[in-house]
A and B are shown apart, each in its own frame.
Chain A
Amino acid sequence: MNETVVNAIALLAVAVAAHAAWHTLRDAPFSNPLFYSVAALEVALLGLLIGGSVALGRTDRDVDGVLLVSYLVTIVVIPPAAVLWGIAEKSRWGTGVVVVAMLTTAVLCVRVEQIWDAVRV
């Protein structure tokens, strides 16, 4: 699994978090552009799930496969859940939920890298 790609996805998640935080600060409702940012990230995360699973099948490193795949699946589930839950909240904190979710996604990407590198944390 390519570290640059995972780092890029983590940075993308941070960028989407900033985008959502901008909505939260301005008390703006959940907007279409924000939806598209989250959707773009989701596509990247699906790619990571597929790419990561393929890489896991090919590698001969000592990677904890169950742990890795459970992380990859969790990451894919988070953004849609956050969007659904965020839209249901009409106050500014609806997008606050998205901020939390995106930061979580970024952290999980970093953890995925550590698991791939077989770093014991």
Chain B
Amino acid sequence: MSERASTAHGFGRALVAVYAVFAVAASARSIFQLITKADEAPFAYALSAVAGVVYVVATYALATDHRRLATATIGFELVGVLTVGVLSLADESLFPDQTVWSDFGSGYGYVPLVLPFVGLWWLLRSRGGHD
């Protein structure tokens, strides 16, 4: 292997697939929510949109081996899911409708909580010479 593996190959290929699923799921959900019922829960829906953009950019960055961008977006994703997770448990009225990140992503089998850790681990792992 080359001394610096691409983030898009090997295990990264499967990771990009998971990110792609969430990119589509979160963006489609937010577009649907904003079009059909934007006034019901503007904060939650705006957040869905932000999450969607984060996943789209993270997918792009991982797939094209843009390490810095990937680290930044996945870091943001981690902060996002933790913050929104805590907020949604602390004050339910903030989130009258679900977003990908509410309750630490419980609506999505907690994958949104695990994903940023796996993403950062992969960025570290693929950086060095092993593999």
Task: List residues of chain A with CB under 8 Å of any chain B CB.
Answer: 67, 70, 74, 82, 85-86, 89, 91, 93-94, 96-97, 99-101, 104, 107, 121
Contact = CB atoms under 8 A, between A and B. Distances in A.
A90 to B, nearest CB: 9
B11 A93 contact: yes
Q: Is the interface of A mostly helix, strand, loop or mixed?
A: helix
Contacts of B11: 91, 93, 96
Contacts of A99: 14
B13 A94 contact: yes
Interface residues of B, number: 15
Interface string B7-42: 001111110011001001000100010000000000
A85 B9 contact: no
A96 B14 CA distance: 6
Contact of A91 (B10, B32, B98): B10
Given A100-B18, A104-B21, A121-B98, A93 B32 contact: no
